[in-house]
Structure 1
Amino acid sequence: MGTAAAGADGVAGERRQLINVAYRLLGSLAESEDAVQEAYARWYALPRSRQDEIVSPGAWLTTVTGRICLDVLGSARARRERYVGAWLPDPLPDHAEWEHGHGTDPADQLVLDESVTMAFLVVLESMTPAERVAFVLHDVFRYPFAEIADVLGRTPAACKQLAASARRRVRVERTPATAAGQADTVRQVKEAWETKDIAALVDLLDPAAVMTADGGGMVGTVLRPVEGGARIARYMVAIADKAPGLELLERSVNGVPGLVARRAGAVMTVASFEVADGRVTRIWAVRNPEKLGPWCGTGACTESGS
């Protein structure tokens, strides 16, 4: 990897890994793409002699991308305070559907596993920037703490403590539903929603369920989480009443069964679910159109959709 040719091949081949790291750190496709582009810009700004000295361009790019993401996370709190309503990570379509869209989009580079589920990403949002970087790089991507120390500018021991602190925030006691079990529950939710059956929805929702919606101030939605299965059921039916012609599609969202709502061919909402013991405990509904772009390259949009 020390030669110019090997270095060029190495950096070109790192993009997929870098996008995967950045998305898990930031939860935003646009910000992840920007972070990776900035890392590449810094690489190409290095003199050729300096590039040749770097034994592993991939490790160098990961370190730089991590530092850029750390800076973005540091400023995110202030930006989130200005955000209208709740902020949720960008929802990801399934690759099988994405292949019908624009394959060069960063969404196509992402590996869909348990570390990109909406439930997991929301937990990451509760961590400090340093905790999130240490946890994601070590627990998800298995980077050694010695390398993470270069990203955070701390000792390996301090990074290990950060990861341990972050790990405690993950609710390990929760037993998520299997993919088949979640798909069955989500399908029942879809059917009850379509028929506006409040009683059936209440049965499918945990009494302590919480629904969070992200409209970004660009579309109408609740600004605060809706709490309680009965309240959520009534809210869902009210949405159906106000949007005649709303079509619900079963789709994989961030690698797990979810729902996409579209109207007149345009995707309006992408909903993720957390299911435990056959009941929905959390719903995350992304309605901000700026976060739904990738879904218009999938089977969730018709050719006439936006």
Structure 2
Amino acid sequence: MSAHGTTDPATEAFVAHRNLLFTVAYEMLGSAADAEDVLQETWLRWADVDLGKVRDRRAYLVRITTRQALNRLRVMKRRREAYVGQWLPEPLLTAPDVAEDVELAESVSMALMLVLETLSPTERAVFVLREAFDVGYDEIAAAVGKSPAAVRQIAHRARRHVDARRPRHTVSPSESRAVVESFRQALETGDPQGLLDVLAPDVVLVGDGGGIKQAALRPVAGAEKVTRFYIGGIRRTSGRISTELTVVNGNPALVVRVDGELDGILAIRVEDARISGLYYVRNPEKLTRVESETALTLR
């Protein structure tokens, strides 16, 4: 800020693209806390840039953010090998309009973010920049330190890998909400048949307690096993369980409370009017971004 109260051009450009840069970093890292750190590092480097030599400020900022996120992702990959139990992305409370933006909701969904975890750091960066943000191959090449030809090959390989694993047959936000509401009622009343009615036969439940809270150490697969898991858990819980519909990562989710205290966030994937994926984050270190909305954007 200058003495006259006007913002300098570097700050102006950074603030204008901040939500975009956060979304890039978050999609690459799956962690809001680490994405915020990347933005700090990006700002420090951006503040030293000679703006007179920058042709496209948005592209240049995305390039810096990608490089910083890549460095952090390589360190995080090693750290995650020591993580207790299953690892899930940090859930973000998002505005309802994110759910209406099909492209954005898909790109930050728990289901797709988990698929991205199976890519190498460079593959993930290339896939995210190309598929979610529609960045050109030359610009991606500059960001990841590869030739444009190599980036094209990496993009093709990553897309094939993700397409083989990404969920299909998504439904509209209103259909999703109806299915999730039926699931919520069955969960609150402890109704096994009600759960079986809304769960896909091959539904998968993934829990993340981070070694701090109890959670299934391995994914639970199949409607009957998932139902038994939930009904058993409800019976073992001494407190009163309550659930509330919300939107997390642009997709329907439930806030789960026990005796009014936040227990976790259950993100839900709906396909063909049935629930195909349940992602329950109980690790308290990952529940800091579910009280106030996080602004996400692909543009």
TM above 0.5, yes or no, is yes
- In 1, Cα distance between equivalents of 2:113 and 2:269: 12
Q: What residue in structure 2 maps to residue 226 of structure 1?
A: 220
- In 1, Cα distance between equivalents of 2:119 and 2:104: 21
Q: Please give the per-residue CA displacement for 1:71-96, whole angstroms capped at 9, x wherever unaligned.
A: 12222221111111111111111336
- In 1, Cα distance between equivalents of 2:252 and 2:167: 21
Q: Is 1:92 aligned to 2:92, yes or no?
A: yes
CA contact (8 A) 1:261 1:269 kept: yes
- In 2, Cα distance between equivalents of 1:131 and 1:264: 43
Deviation at 1:258, TM superposition (A): 1.6
- In 1, Cα distance between equivalents of 2:291 and 2:133: 30
Deviation at 1:153, TM superposition (A): 0.8
1:17 maps to amino acid:
L
Deviation at 1:154, TM superposition (A): 0.6
Q: What residue in structure 2 maps to residue 161 of structure 1?
A: 153
Q: Is 1:10 aligned to 2:4, yes or no?
A: no
Correspondent of 1:117 among 109, 112, 115: 109
Q: Is 1:130 aligned to 2:122, yes or no?
A: yes
In structure 1, the residue corresponding to 2:290 is in which secondary structure?
A: helix
- In 2, Cα distance between equivalents of 1:153 and 1:88: 29
For normalisation by structure 2, the TM-score amounts to: 0.87
Q: Is 1:190 aligned to 2:184, yes or no?
A: yes
CA contact (8 A) 2:210 2:283 kept: yes
Q: Is 1:145 aligned to 2:137, yes or no?
A: yes
In structure 2, the residue corresponding to 1:82 is in which secondary structure?
A: coil
- In 2, Cα distance between equivalents of 1:235 and 1:70: 37
In structure 2, the residue corresponding to 1:13 is in which secondary structure?
A: helix
Q: Is 1:235 aligned to 2:238, yes or no?
A: no
Q: Is 1:33 aligned to 2:33, yes or no?
A: no
- In 2, Cα distance between equivalents of 1:260 and 1:154: 42
- In 2, Cα distance between equivalents of 1:64 and 1:173: 31
1:235 maps to amino acid:
F
Correspondent of 2:23 among 20, 23, 35: 20
Q: Please give the per-residue CA displacement for 1:124-146, whole angstroms capped at 9, x wherever unaligned.
A: 11211111111111111111110
In structure 1, the residue corresponding to 2:91 is in which secondary structure?
A: coil
In structure 1, the residue corresponding to 2:267 is in which secondary structure?
A: strand
Structure ranking higher on relative contact order (CA contacts 8 Å, 6+ apart): 2
Q: Please give the per-residue CA displacement for 1:230-268, whole angstroms capped at 9, x wherever unaligned.
A: 111011112222233111111112112221101233221
Q: What residue in structure 1 maps to residue 241 of structure 2?
A: 246
CA contact (8 A) 1:247 1:261 kept: yes
Q: Is 1:204 aligned to 2:198, yes or no?
A: yes
- In 1, Cα distance between equivalents of 2:111 and 2:290: 20
Q: Is 1:67 aligned to 2:59, yes or no?
A: no
For normalisation by structure 1, the TM-score amounts to: 0.85
Q: What residue in structure 1 maps to residue 171 of structure 2?
A: 177
Residue correspondences, number = 279
In structure 2, the residue corresponding to 1:207 is in which secondary structure?
A: strand
Q: What residue in structure 2 maps to residue 274 of structure 1?
A: 269
Give the % identical residues.
36
Q: What residue in structure 2 maps to residue 256 of structure 1?
A: 251
Identify unmatched segments of 5+ residues in structure 1.
98-110, 299-306
CA contact (8 A) 2:91 2:248 kept: yes
Deviation at 1:157, TM superposition (A): 1.2
- In 2, Cα distance between equivalents of 1:89 and 1:170: 17
Q: Please give the per-residue CA displacement for 1:164-190, whole angstroms capped at 9, x wherever unaligned.
A: 111112336721122222211111111
1:82 maps to amino acid:
A
In structure 2, the residue corresponding to 1:221 is in which secondary structure?
A: coil
- In 2, Cα distance between equivalents of 1:276 and 1:13: 36
| Counterparts in 2 of 1:12 and 1:295: CA distance versus 1, 3 Å | closer
Question: Superposition RMSD on alpha carbons, in Å?
Answer: 2.1
Matches within 5 A, 1:34-53: 34-46=37-49, 50-53=50-53
CA contact (8 A) 1:261 1:268 kept: yes
In structure 1, the residue corresponding to 2:113 is in which secondary structure?
A: helix
CA contact (8 A) 1:267 1:296 kept: no
Q: What residue in structure 1 maps to residue 260 of structure 2?
A: 265
Q: What residue in structure 2 maps to residue 105 of structure 1?
A: none
- In 2, Cα distance between equivalents of 1:275 and 1:29: 24
Identify unmatched segments of 5+ residues in structure 2.
1-6, 98-102, 294-299
- In 2, Cα distance between equivalents of 1:208 and 1:128: 27
